[in-house]
Amino acid sequence: MWNRVEQAARKVFRAYNYHEIRTPILEETQLFARGVGQETDIVTKEMYTFEDRDGTSVTLRPEATASVIRAYIEHRLDQRPGVQKLYYIGPMFRRERPQKGRYRQFFQIGAEAIGSESPAVDAEVIEMVIELLKAAGLEGFHLLINSVGDPHCRPQYVERLRQALRPVAPQMCADCQRRAETNPLRVLDCKVEADQPIIQSLPTILEHLCPACRAHFDAVRQFLTDRGIEYEVRPRLVRGLDYYMRTTFEVVHGALGAQNSVLGGGRYDGLAESLGSKIHSPGIGFSIGEDRLVMSVESGQEPPRLDLLIAPLDEPALRRAAVMAAGFRRAGASVEIAEGKLKRSMELANKLGARFTLIVGETEMAAGRYALKDMTTGAQESLAPEEIAAKLAPAANC
Cβ contacts of residue 299 below 8 Å, gap of 6+?
Answer: 255
Q: Helix 119-136 vs helix 211-226: angle between axes, to the nearest 10 degrees? A: 40
pTM score, whole prediction: 0.79
Amino acid 398: pLDDT: 44
CB-facing half-sphere around the CA of 257: CA atoms within 13 A: 5
Does residue 332 share a domain with residue 281?
Answer: no
With respect to residue 292, please indicate whether it lies within any of the assigned structural domains: yes
Same domain, 50 and 100: yes
Specify whether 118 is located in the same domain as 238. Answer: yes
- Residue 374 in any domain: the answer is yes
Check if the beta carbon of residue 77 is closer than 8 Å to that of residue 114: yes
Q: What is the CATH number of the domain that holds 381?
A: 3.40.50.800
Q: In terms of domains, do 133 and 258 share one?
A: yes
- As for how many domains the chain has, the answer is 2
Per-residue confidence (pLDDT) for residue 328, from 0 to 100: 92
Last residue of a domain, one of 264, 298, 332: 298
Kindly state whether residues 319 and 284 are assigned to the same domain.
Answer: no
Q: Cα-flanking dihedrals φ and ψ of residue 137, to 5°? A: 100, 10
Q: How far apart are CA 377 and CA 383, in angstroms?
A: 17
252 shares its domain with 144: yes
Written as one string, the DSSP assignment of 289-313 is EHHHHHHHHHTT-PPPPP-EEEEE-
340: left (phi over 0), alpha (psi -120 to 50) or beta: left
Residue 228 lies in a domain: yes
Q: Of 234, 263, 298, which residue constitutes the final position of a domain?
A: 298
Which pLDDT does position 193 carry in this prediction? 83
For residues 241 and 270, membership in a common domain is answered with yes
How confident is the chain (398 residues) per 10-residue block, as mean pLDDT? 92 96 92 67 75 91 91 90 93 80 86 94 95 90 92 86 86 84 80 84 87 94 95 82 83 67 88 83 92 80 83 92 92 90 90 91 90 91 90 64
**For residue 243, what pLDDT is reported?**
73
Q: Are 73 and 272 in contact (CB under 8 A)?
A: yes
Residue 271 is assigned to a structural domain of this protein: yes
Q: What dihedral do alpha carbons 83, 89, 94, 99 form, nearest 10°?
A: 120
List the CATH number of the domain containing 87: 3.30.930.10
User: Is 251 in the same domain as 144?
Assistant: yes
Do the domain assignments include residue 58? yes
Q: Is residue 195 part of a domain?
A: no
306-309-310 Cα angle (round to 5): 155
DSSP letter string, 32-73: HHHHT-TTSHIIIII--EEE-TTS-EEEE-S-SHHHHHHHHH
Residue 262 contacts residue 287 (beta carbons within 8 Å): no
Q: Domain limits at 293?
A: 2-153+209-298
| 371 shares a domain with 286 | no
Distance of CA 95 to the CA centre of its chain: 19
Q: Are residues 92 and 13 in the same domain?
A: yes
CB 213 within 8 A of CB 155: no
How crowded is the C-beta side of 122, counted as CA atoms within 13 Å? 29
pLDDT of residue 44: 64
For residues 95 and 6, membership in a common domain is answered with yes
Bin 37: left if φ > 0, else alpha if -120 < ψ < 50, else beta: left
Residues 101 and 250 placed together within one structural domain of the fold: yes
- The verdict on residue 202 lying in a domain is no
